[in-house]
Amino acid sequence: MDICGLIVEYNPFHNGHLYHIQKCKEITKCRNTIVVMSGNFTQRGTPSIVDKWTKTKMALEEGVDLVLELPAVYSLSSAEFFASGAVSLLNSLGVVDGICFGSELGSIDILKQIASTLIDEPLEYKETLKKHLSSGLNYPSSRNKALKNYLIHNSSLKEDVLDGILSQSNNILGIEYCKSLLKLNSSLQPVTIKREGSSYNDLNLNHKFSSASAIRNHFNSGKSLYDLDEVIPKKVFNLILKLKEENYSFPVDEHMFEFIKYKLLTNERSIENIPDALEGLNNKILKEIQCSNTLNELILKIKSKRYTYTRISRILTQLFIGFDLFPTKDMRKSPCSYARVLGFNSEGQKILKLLKDTCSIPVYTKLPKDNIPSLQLDIQCTKAYSLINKNISPNSDYLISPIIYK
């Protein structure tokens, strides 16, 4: 491979991310890397602990050549839309040979087999899926049960192996990446590396490869940042220390709560325009917001067998940002329509020159005058983010140029 794409969040950048970049270059023999990165909000429905330009600096410091922003309409969606938006963006560039992602499994063949089953949707699978959905299970759980049932009877995969694969978040995202490549009939080759260290949701700093969740949890606890020295690359660690010394506002989920509560209490209809909040979930949210005093309390009151914590968190964050003002249900089903540059190094600059001849979508290094809904939503995200991070201006998208790393 000459150029490999990575789909990331870097919330924040840690040793596992550096390992990902290094192993990608080792396995694929690629010359350059292009990162598609979520912006100021992440797929879990949380604000990024540092802004998207700071995350871009971190990525460039650690060897990435070009950073593109994954529009928020995808980055704040389920794994399916997150993956489809990112893969369609990389596919449209015309210079990328493959994508490399981490997974708990570390085997691309099995992930591709599962993805192919989900694309083909055999009758046995569809009937089992319908049965589980009718029982009241949420879609992810129903899909996993139906998929497991089908593969046990129609492949060499065993139940315990499938249980492990389908319950782990990076495997799930990997399957969605493979699905998206199949849907696009893309020539990009998927490559996976085995994820090392702590699990995705582990909240304890207990390993060189501690999870991003554990690092964010440590940030929010008020404990010494020096405890992070061994789990974050040195350059990134020094950048974080500098931000701390400058009283940078590291935002947390709870900072959004009062804004969300105000919006729901003063405009009850707004929740009806959030696609994932239908089927009565909107009414449950409106009921519980009145007697909730924190975001976590609200989410726990709404959470059920059908509605996961992450889904509810995404819905509330979408409401905070203003997704209700955009036709996001249709927007997220369409391929990414532009590539917005957040930063690059000298190699990335060479890639940008190539894109003039190869890319099938516009490439923006500054905001265009065109009224593009998904780009307007990204601008809206920055405005909302500025409410919980005083270091970011509401107009930062207009004021901050792409980061040039030399």
* Span 288-347, pLDDT tens digits: 999 999 999 999 999 987 888 999 999 999 999 999 999 999 999 999 999 999 999 999
Say if residues 346 and 356 touch (Cβ distance below 8 Å). no
Confidence category of residue 199, pLDDT binned at 50, 70, 90:
low
Place of tokens 């490869």: 209
- 20-43 pLDDT, tens per residue? 999 999 999 999 999 999 999 999
Report pLDDT digits (tens) over 237-284. 999 999 999 999 999 999 999 999 999 999 999 999 999 998 889 999
Residue 347: burial class (beta carbons within 10 Å; 0-12, 13-18, 19+): middle
Give the integer Cα–Cα distance in Å for 386 and 67. 22
Instruction: Give this prediction's pTM.
Output: 0.94
pLDDT surpasses 90 at 50: yes
DSSP label at 114? H
Buried b (16+ CB within 10 A) or exposed e, 56-67: bbbbbbbbbbbb
In which residue are the tokens 């491979």 written? Answer: 1
Of the candidates 233, 237, 234, 235, the one whose C-alpha atom is nearest the C-alpha of residue 224 is: 237
pLDDT at 202: 66
Q: Tokens 């909000």 map to which residue?
A: 41
> Two tokens at 276?
């994932």
pLDDT band at 18 (very low <50, low <70, confident <90, very high): very high
Compute the distance between CA of residue 202 and CA of residue 211 in angstroms, rounded to an integer.
6
- Check: CB of residue 7 under 8 Å from CB of residue 34: no
Residue 164 predicted with pLDDT over 90: no
What's the confidence (pLDDT) of residue 299?
A: 98
Give the C-alpha separation, 335 to 340, whole Å.
Answer: 14
